Chains A and B, each alone.
Chain A
Amino acid sequence: SQTIHQWPATLVQPVGSPLSLECTVEGTSNPNLYWYRQAAGRGLQLLFYSVGIGQISSEVPQNLSASRPQDRQFILSSKKLLLSDSGFYLCAWSVPGRETDTQYFGPGTRLTVL
Chain B
Amino acid sequence: AQSVAQPEDQVNVAEGNPLTVKCTYSVSGNPYLFWYVQYPNRGLQFLLKYITGDNLVKGSYGFEAEFNKSQTSFHLKKPSALVSDSALYFCAVSRLSGTYKYIFGTGTRLKVLA
Q: Which residues of A contact B (CB under 8 A)?
A: 6, 32, 41-44, 46, 49, 51, 59, 88, 90, 92, 94, 96, 99-108, 110
B contact residues around A105 at 8 Å (CB): 36, 43-46
Residues from chain B with Cβ under 8 Å of A44 in the complex: 44, 90, 104
Of A6, A46, A107, A108, which contacts B102 at CB under 8 A?
A: A46
Residues of chain B touching chain A, judged by Cβ–Cβ distance below 8 Å, are 32, 34, 36, 41-46, 49, 51, 88, 90, 94-95, 100-102, 104, 106-107
Inter-chain contacts of B34 with A (CB < 8 A): 102-103
Q: State the CA gap A103–B93 with chains docked (Å).
A: 11
Residues of A within 8 A of B41 (CB): 88, 108, 110
Across the interface, which residues of B come within 8 angstroms of A110, CB to CB? 41
Is B94 touching A101 in the complex (CB atoms < 8 A)? yes
Residue from A90, A94, A107 in contact with B100 in the complex, judged by beta carbons closer than 8 Å: A94
B49, A108: Cβ atoms closer than 8 Å:
no
How far is it, in angstroms, between the C-alpha of A49 and the C-alpha of B94 when the chains are bound? Answer: 14
Nearest CB in chain A to that of B95: its residue: A101
**Cβ of B107 and Cβ of A42 under 8 Å apart?**
yes
Complex A-B: 5 CB contacts under 8 Å = A94-B100, A101-B100, A103-B46, A103-B102, A107-B43
Q: Report whether B101 and A108 are in contact in the complex, using a CB–CB cutoff of 8 Å.
A: no
Distance in angstroms between the alpha carbons of A71 and B51 in the assembled complex = 28
- Residue among A32, A92, A96, A105 with the most chain B CB within 10 A? A105
